[in-house]
Amino acid sequence: MKLLLVLLALAGVILQAAALSVEERTALGAKSHAALRKMFGAGNTGVDAYGVDFTDVLTGTEIECLQASGLSFVIPRGYRSVGVVDTNFVASLITAQTAGMSGSVYLFPCPTCTKSAAAQVNELIDAIGKAGVVPDLIWLDIEGPQYWHKTAAANEKFMGELLTAAAKTGFPLGIYSNHKEWANIFGDETYAPCQELPLWYPRFNYVPLVTGYQPFGGWEKPALKQYLDLKTLCGITTDLNVLYAV
């Protein structure tokens, strides 16, 4: 057996990490979609919600301004593509949740770093635990083929490890990506390791409607849409997002 593994490695064959079972994916998907429904709050069923993602530290004044602008959720970056925790997310999440806003966090992984996918997830979870915050969801940011390996097989292996590690945290999960990023990273749009999870879809056409969405990865429609990028709002540089009513 050891000889076989060595020969496979020498031949450049990448062994796939154990994927989540269909049952595990289904249960996690149900839990994650339930977390999204909670983000709307009581009495808001049928009404879309709006929010922002960003990398800055939000102040109480900025949060008040965002709320006055009709926004109800924030998604700060919790992990950077260079393989380190973005500590800015802690203060932003605490301030937003204290003010009554929903708060998630996104993890931008580093597939080519020496740290494993599990190590990266655990670093973010450790930071969350030490800060005493509880994000509504953790979004896995899957974009930028320049940050990933050169082969689809290697990227699928890392993705499997990332999903497995993230699922073990117990937090609801979602995926950030679109059909172009997905195909460039995984070889085509049909790779579907996590279609049960909510999808956060970027398309900067300045329209918060589900227009021009192209299905991929098993997702028939997105749960969120990032429709406006790098806008200065309430003194911070942010992207605008809509969370569709469920």
Q: Residue 207 belongs to a domain with what CATH number?
A: 3.20.20.80
Residue 171 — very low, low, confident or very high, per pLDDT cuts 50/70/90? very high
Tokens of 175: 């995926």
CA distances from 218 to 34, 63, 140, 189 (A): 19, 35, 16, 9
Catalytic pick from 62, 141, 156, 161? 141
Tokens of 3: 């000889």
Q: Is 53 a catalytic residue?
A: yes
pLDDT at 11: 38
The residue behind tokens 């429904």 is 37
What mean pLDDT is predicted for residues 6-14? 35
Q: Is 64 a catalytic residue?
A: no
pTM score: 0.91
Q: Is 48 a catalytic residue?
A: no
Range of the domain at 191: 2-243
- Asked whether the beta carbons of 99 and 57 are under 8 A apart, the reply is no
Q: Model confidence over 88-127: pLDDT tens digits? A: 999 999 999 999 999 999 999 999 999 999 999 999 999 9
Domain count, the chain: 1
Catalytic pick from 62, 143, 161, 181? 143
pLDDT at 38: 83
